[in-house]
Structure 1
Amino acid sequence: MKFSLQLINNFINLDQIQFNKFEENLTLSGLEIDNIEKINKYKDKIIDINITANREEISSSFSLARETSTIFNIPLKILPIKLNYKNSIQQNTNNLTNTNYNHIAYIRIITLEEICTNKTPDWLLNQLKIRNIKERKTLNNIQEYIKIKWGKTFYIINNKEINQQKNIIKDLNLIKLFHAKEIQLIINNIDSKSKVLIFTTIHKPENNKCLNNEYDEFYENAFIDSMKLITTCTGGKIGKYKEIHQKIFIKNNTIEISKKNINKSLGYIKGKKLKFINTHKIKNILQQLKLSPKYCKTDKLFKLTIPNYRANDLTREIDIIEEIGKIYKFQNFFNKIKDNNLQGYQSINFTKVKQIRNILNTLGLHEVINCCITKNIKNDLNNPQIHNPITYEQQELRTNILESLIHNYENNIKNLKNNIEIFEIGKVFNINKKSKQFYKEKRHLGILIYNKNYIRNNWSNAPTHLNLFHFKNIIETFLETINSKAILTNNETKNINFANHLFKNHKKIEIYDPKRRKVIGVLGELNNNFIEQINNKKEKIYILEINLHQLIETTKSNNHLEYISQKYSNYPSVTRDVSIKLGKYINLEKVKHTIVNENNELIESVEILNEYNNEQINTTRYISLRITYRSKTKTLNSEDIRYIDNNLNNQLNQLRQSSNNM
């Protein structure tokens, strides 16, 4: 839709706004300018704006000026003229009482006599050409111009048209609120040669405070402008006019929006600190949008009254939030969501299980996941039963984790997978000793390794099977890596918590917790009889099952370090090897401590190289020491070395004398 900047400038002063800024802010507010055309004859600019479907109210120069006033927070040049309807005829309303109304529907009927000229000014025709409106009679051209300028206009009828089309009054928009017969009587008394102009509006009376918005507060301004144009351009005489008003009730358009939702949608604003738009700023923006905000501190929400010209546009909470963002400018918000580096609390158990998974993967094992509902190999009345099982293979809860790993082994063998190294961390269920009607749920770790080509004794020989000692070494490495205090023993006790029937006799090792004095797991070679049920070959398969919670209890985390870090020197060192004659019972640590204390700034280390004893003299011995000197600030020169040698000789002489005295 095309608009004239010269016509817009009648309502708002655009001289104080740079055109580039004007164009940019209109685009950011959703009114994108497609084209700009200059008309040198009238020193005017025509802007072609792409009006979206939800902003149909921007159809006139006044509506665009009002939107510009809102965006730039600049007042309009004109002020609304109050409508005086008290002298008009009040039409009777049966549906409303005197108090049950909040607006006035108003009609003004004017007669226009003796039109002298039909010539329309060029500047007015130019405004019609901008909107591609065809030229007609002068009065009709003024009617279209008023609509372009104000967004509303008057109706033109005469007695002949009324007589020919009796329902013409019923077709007018706001006149439908009135009784057509009463208006017909007024028009019938007018001369048939005269033109009849009808102006309509809906107005809020001053004494009514139920709404803060005006339906047509600039009606009187548009009426005066129309009368001036008609009398100037047509030379017609305006006769007396009749007025009719009716009390009506219009539902209040209100929206409630919480401050929390505004902050959630728009996010943080740019600044030194992360913060949201403050309440005072939001309220000022809502006032700038003419939404008459009222803030409720207890509920932290804004109660808004929507103006009539935005009733079709602002219908939801998100529409209001979008308008706030347009006024505050979206570039003032963070365009990226801030990463939250804070992590939730992770339990020690969760961290340890994660560490165990990573270590087993590092050792070359692959994790598998199996269902807890299965059919246990060993038939036992104590096995947890499933009521109404779906299939025969899923009628019990598993009592150990190894049988699931054996099923994985069987499936891999069928698919010609020769090397199988897997583990699983999952749940097992055992009967409660105290109450045999209930079952305990535990987490176990299971490992199964089958590898024909695990190791070779010599590169010229073929690789051989994994044996029990290799498997035992893998488990010891695993326990050492997780810093577990558990040990491996050969007690071969019968533990009901693990599947002892799956292991070979005398090829089973228990994992023992020395602190709590109980077995927490079992490792060994899979029973040959069970292997023969899978295939007729006697394969060497090694398995392990351990209680995961009890394993974690044996681990100990290092919360301290046993060493001290120091700054490394970039300068070269000087080494001196010395031999000291000492008494037989003098402590060497005391000697090292004495030397270091005397030259603690330059001595980097003192090492004992050797010790010599004289078999003939049992009271003395000779100690060879290597002393390293280094400075952290400079390279040692000849004077420094001379000082070191003299100081060291004096110290050694004192040590020899003290040794002789002993």
Structure 2
Amino acid sequence: MKVAINRLKEFISFEESTEEIADKLTQSGLEVEGIERFESISGGLEGVVIGEVLSCSPHPNADRLKVTTVDIGGEEVPIVCGAPNVAQGQKVVVATVGAQLCPNGGEAFTIKKAKIRGEVSHGMICAEDELGLGKSHDGILVLDTEMDNGTPASDYFQIESTDVLEIGLTPNRADAASHLGVARDLKALLKKDLALPDVEGFQVDDHSRPVSIEVEDAADCPRYAGLTLSNVKVGPSPEWLQNYLKALGLEPINNIVDLTNFILHDLGQPLHAFDLDQVAGDKIIVKKLPKGTVFTTLDEKERKLSGEELMICDENHGLCMAGIFGGVGSGVTQSTSTIFLESAYFSPDVIRKGSLQHGLKTDASFRFERGTDPNMPVYALKRAAMLIKELAGGKVSSEIIDLYPKPVEDFEIDVKYRNIDRLIGKNIPKEEVKAILESLDIQVADASEGGFKAIVKPYRVDVTREADIIEEILRIYGFENVLLSDTYQSSYLAEHPAKDSNKLQFRVSELLSGMGYYEMMTNSLTKPGYAEQSTHLDEGQSVEIVNKLSEDLGVMRQTLLFTGLEVLAHNINRRQKDLRFFEFGSTYHKEEEGYREESHLSLFLTGDRADESWLEPSKPVAFPDIYSVVEKLLDKLNIQTPEVEIIHESPFDYALKLKLGKKEIGTVGLLSPKITKQAEVKQEVFFAELRWDYLLKKASGLKKYQEISKFPEVRRDLSLVIDKEVTFDAVRKIAEKAGGKLLKHIGVFDVYQGENLEQGKKAYALSFFLQDNEKTLTDKIIDKSMDRLMKSFEKEIGALIRK
């Protein structure tokens, strides 16, 4: 949201610099994200002055050029000019040496001393387009003025300039979505008075165009006000109004529409102007139209109504989608002479739903769906009507009709002084608490030694609890004024676990980064279609968002899979196909008794193992590449080797399910093409998703190091012929049990299936590494250990030992 400094000064007088104002607003919660300089003419014509041509003669070396002498105020300078209309005695606009010009349709350039065809030129006599004033380049701009030579051209052209603050408005601060809203905070921060524009001069001129108004849905439209103006003349807005809108990044349209935008950004109250001659029966009806009704909006798009949108209608059809977007045919045009001006307070819920339903986000809907001031419509109506009479002529031709059957009441909040002191961490004098709240238009009533009742106006939709009142006190009092104590203490006892989850996560991130994996962060909101189309996800467990930003962000994710695949697709589409990613993130599930949130860790691996090289051809990644990463990760957390179960189920083509005891800790495998296709990924993707919450519970801290054994390690190899169904995990468990503490590691260096083996068999070539930390192993001990291993394999899995 943008606010102009010079407009803020119309509400509250201050001498502080723009930077000081920005700092105060940021400290109070209205974060200023940037400061821009707006000038009605780009560059502000700095270095451009009014001059007088003292002499003008033909250039000795060029037929189309003239050599002039120009008085620029206390100095006479030579200037070579090519304009056909330059002549002695003219008042002209001169860009002096060093001035930067921003011409229409061209790049900015700086005026320098030059020698043109042998004649010195110290400046430039300017045409209209060279100054950025218009498009004409027929000749230099000749002025009719008595201003002194050397007068800045900005004074003659009355250039308007102002600093513009870009405020990152948080969703709760709907009250600050205007210049008035920001000025209210400045009033409290600067301890200054705030002045609203006077509307005492408003009057009804006649009753020639009365309009009847009927509100059928008072719950969604608690207040609706309007009046008519006749004999208005639609045309361009004056310079001041156009500059106001341009400073905020808006394009002027016409004086009526521009004035409604002015009121919206000035007071925070959206208005809508209807061409009254297009309103059938001079009657306005606020109601909902039947489901399926086709309504054409101002952008000339036909939209089917759901039956939940609040509509502004006449006797025959819909005119406007209330608080969101106008309809075609009822808006103000150049031929409009009579208008009906609407000013209303709509329920935020109905506007939010309608805006989301049709994907329409406007300045009006932005404010209505967050909550506008229900006490502002009539004041804004009077202010707008007075300005329209001033800028577009005409007269007010009806009384203000104000339908407000059940006024929105102020919030009454009980506040205890002890809670203010406890939450802020400092005893603020009661008088200062009262002064702060009253500067924010929050009335303090029924005050006693223990507390008081805060009465909050309804435009502060974010202040409804005692904690909100305390936050208001603190942000105006100043966070920087609450100093940290010399001794830290807490008013409660808390458990301090030995494990540092942040430290463990950081170490795992370091490990993965060191193996070439990049960390990513994806949105917790995702497409409902993923759960609908995937058999491994339960659509009934999707946590649906009530106020969706879009259908693509309609539910909370049940898995990190699909948001990660979207990142892969984004990179692959940009010719980055060898990818390694990991993410720590939350998943969400709806259950019978509420909701469940879990922290997960995901890994994605796709493409080739290494860049193509003359040393060896590129090879695609395989399952062992990602599984080895999972093994190293678990080892880093000092977690025992998990049990594995081979699975062939969605979302995988094949995978291993990892378990610690009976508890599943994750899965790792190759994703099914059906799944990757949903995210438009057209290459093989290996994926692992681990339950990070559970891993943190099982982690025994960082891995403890121990002294390296002084005694040598011994390797022995065995070849086993076993049934195809026997997994390496089963072989490993038997070996660990039979090998005892001497067996340090077991590995597979070859697997064979095919000829020379009977049907249903496979051969494993295994390596066993034996070591004693206290002595050198003898051949007798080694042979005894290997004999025990072989007998265990023969007995438990029917292995044939190939000797």
TM-score bucket (shorter structure): 0.3 to 0.5
- State TM-score, norm by structure 1: 0.39
- State TM-score, norm by structure 2: 0.33
